[in-house]
Amino acid sequence: MKNDSEQEFIEVVNKEELNCAACGECRMVCPVYAVSGQEKNVARGRLALAKAVADGKLELTETIALSFENCLLCMACVENCAGHVNMIEVVLKSRAFLSSKKGLPKGQALTLKALTADRK
């Protein structure tokens, strides 16, 4: 049985994937892609990875997790997308799903632990 974050992830990915024309306009404006030059670090690449994970064609790996963690959520891809793909929603649901499966990255887990610690 799928948990809530997995079900939400699958629904969002399937919905947004239908809107993507894979035109590459997101490549022109993505600051992460400008630095890395890797398709996995641009909206259409992340969407393809998310779709493959949602369909069970790819296992969750550190490389896939890093692709979603590296997104700055700057919305440049969303603002320039002719298909109006909501990549912010895709990235956030992907991160929630990855966290439910793999746990938080060490840095985030330590920060969260420090912020929620009893200060007495």
Residue 58 maps to which CATH number?
1.10.1060
User: Could you list the residue range(s) of the whole structural domain that residue 104 is in?
Assistant: 4-116
Which residues of the chain fall short of a pLDDT of 70?
A: 1, 103-110, 112-115, 117, 119-120
**Predicted local distance difference test score (pLDDT) of residue 101:** 81
- DSSP state for residue 55 in the 8-state scheme: T
| Burial track 48-84 (b if 16+ CB lie within 10 A, e otherwise) | bbbbebbeeeeeeeeebbebbebbeeeebbbeebeee
Domains: count for the chain: 1
Average confidence score pLDDT of the chain? 89
pTM strictly above 0.75:
yes
Quick one: what percent of the chain has pLDDT higher than 90? 70
